[in-house]
Chains A and B, each alone.
Chain A
Amino acid sequence: MKADHCKADPRGVLTGTHFIDGDHACCEGALAAGARFAAGYPITPSTEVVERFASRVPTVGGTFIQMEDELAASITLQGAVWGGAKAFTVTSGPGFSLMMEHIGYAAMTETPCVFVDVQRGGPSTGLPTLPAQADMMQARWGSHGDYEIIALCPNSPQECFDLTIKAFNFAEEFRVPVMFMMDEVVGHMTEKVVIPPADQIEVFPRKHTHKSVEDYLPYGTNGGQVPEMAHAGEGYNFHVTGLTHDERGYPNMTPPVQDKLVRRLQNKIRAAADRISLFEEEQLEGADVVVVSYGITSRVAQRAIEAARKSGLRVGKLRLITAWPFPEKKIRELAAKVKSFVVPELNLGQMVREVERAAAGKARTFAVSHAGGGVHRPEDILKVIVEASRCQTA
């Protein structure tokens, strides 16, 4: 155990083997991670997460509040964070759109928190009850200005539990909003979920300052990248603003202060990208084609990959667990060795562009797009794998 980690509070941990869906597993992950506050607004297919939280949290000691809209939910949770809580909200496409301003606010004010997006088909009201993975770019770029976030993509109820804890831990470590990018199928899929005992769950505690009131600089990083936090009511009399601010937290709207602040917000994530980038890899060594996928699509792609291998093709698998920061180093390294990448996703081409960018022409990139509303047919992915294996190296 690292010194900066501690163990989960057993009161929030439902240790045991469960048969639950991804939405419920996500809620249990949040409770295990120490979240004791959620603000939400009902939206299919995400609502079950907060329904379970609303049922569980009064027996654990905490608060759920159903707000009047997603604008409110996404800032109420940040008020709770500055009041000392670990907090999150849960939504789907239309609500995620409304939350964008507050993702920017969390990034700018360095408020650690988690936004769960159980993706459904869009644009607009789209397909309320059917899956998509079309919010991936919105998760990264949806709020205005330059900033970095972290986004994780579970592909099973078990991962909805495990990675929700990871999402909270990253949020605390980097003081950044973390996007938890589920999809309707993963959210509503029921599988076995094993919740370990609390003493086997590592939780990253808040980076709370130990400095005296006189010495504390709310946005001073002392040469590091992530400032220490104080909570309201502790006597620090600190100021938090969404305006460009100096180390005191005071507004300072000058190009040099803007440059320093915005670059730090970006660098604190980019500099740690290798550590934040989680992926699952399989048979990458000697592969001609690498299938890059994430979320539910990775499970459909698995079938296509196995069928391709049976017919003698050398196909590797790279499953993105972390979508943002994008693992460009990994793709760059692979691009030098393989012929091509195949990227199936439930959108008309989002993460595939990142793969193409990172491959930088060294390997070809093939999209397998799908407008959402269901999952791919494995044979559609297989066809593209076959095509990709026959292509000339770029």
Chain B
Amino acid sequence: MSDSLITDIVNAGVNPVDQILRTDRMPHIWCPGCCIGTTVNSFARALIDSKIDLGSLALVSGIGCTGRVAGYVKLDSFHTTHGRAIPFATGLKLANPKLNVVVYSGDGDLSAIGGNHLIHAARRNIDLKVICVNNLIYAMTGGQTAPTTPGHSITSTNPYGTFEPSFNLPHLVEAAGAVYVARWTTFHVRQLARSISEAFQKKGFSFIEVISPCPTLYQRRNKLGDGLDTMKYYKEKSKVRHGAPTGEVGLTMTGEIIVGKFVDRDRPDYQTMMRSQYCESLGEKFVEQEEMVCS
């Protein structure tokens, strides 16, 4: 029995993740069958299970359906501009290295408008935990094609089917330098929570992709059924392959979904490298950054 299950039983009637949520902001804006809330549940469980100090945790979102996560968690939370959650989070982390900084945003936000920041933060190995909810579409704006939309999908901006090749995000971020890369679907709630907990143990740029349905815009337009049908699809077509070469985990509309932990490696994070470079070059002249808090 996991810790969180015990907590559930003891506190029967009280949702154990309530402590992480701004319950005064419920109900949320997400559609029936949308699983962004499911990912938040896994995230909250991970925080509880790994006993993260919530006071030193900050969450940064960009814009879009997943971007609204920042508004629903009872943490220091920042709903930033479209695509810029990662650079905002970079500033937050560098100014206060004691913070645990999570970036929680969608595929369009992180990999299209924010794609440049994604690869550079991975290259620099900034100590950020990035949770990317990938619903394969721009959902908030009405179902337009995203860089992640699989070929031959019907979208509002490709009404005759998409033909652009799509991004394989685990492959992209591994190539750019991420130290931890995992993918789950919203069917894999426990595995997702475990991956998030694991990412908190890593120092450096961690990236967790969560494949999630958009029943309103993606599933419906592509005649893929509703939220429940998508769960069945995830259950039947997902294959756990830890350590799978990320070049082989690209997604299609109805094909197999390779999930698991693909990358788990160590290399020094940005601040460690910065500090050691300054120590080497400046010697005694180097002044350690104190807490920058200006009072």
Contacts and interface: CB of A to CB of B under 8 A. Distances in A.
Given A59-B287, A205-B295, A237-B75, A77 B81 contact: no
A72 B87 contact: yes
A71 B87 contact: yes
Contacts of B88: 75-76, 78-79
Interface in B21-55: 22, 25, 54-55
Contacts of A251: 71, 79
Interface string B271-295: 0001000100010011111111111
Interface stretch (A240-248, A284-292, A325-333, A363-371): A240-248
A142 B78 CA distance: 23
Contacts of A77: 91
Contacts of A234: 55, 76
Nearest to A172: B294
Interface in B245-295: 274, 278, 282, 285-295
A172 to B, nearest CB: 8
Contact of A105 (B70, B75, B81, B98): B81
A32 interface: no
Chain B interface mostly helix, strand, loop or mixed? mixed
A314 to B, nearest CB: 48
B152 interface: no
B144 interface: no
Interface in A240-288: 240-243, 250-251
Contacts of A86: 292, 294
A65 interface: yes
Contact of B95 (A63, A102, A242): A63
A75 B22 CA distance: 25
A237 B24 CA distance: 14
B87 A75 contact: yes
10 contacts: A36-B289, A36-B292, A78-B91, A83-B92, A84-B294, A233-B96, A233-B99, A238-B76, A241-B78, A250-B71
Given A71-B87, A76-B94, A241-B71, 11 more contacts: A59-B287, A75-B80, A76-B87, A76-B88, A79-B93, A80-B94, A84-B95, A233-B56, A240-B77, A240-B78, A250-B22
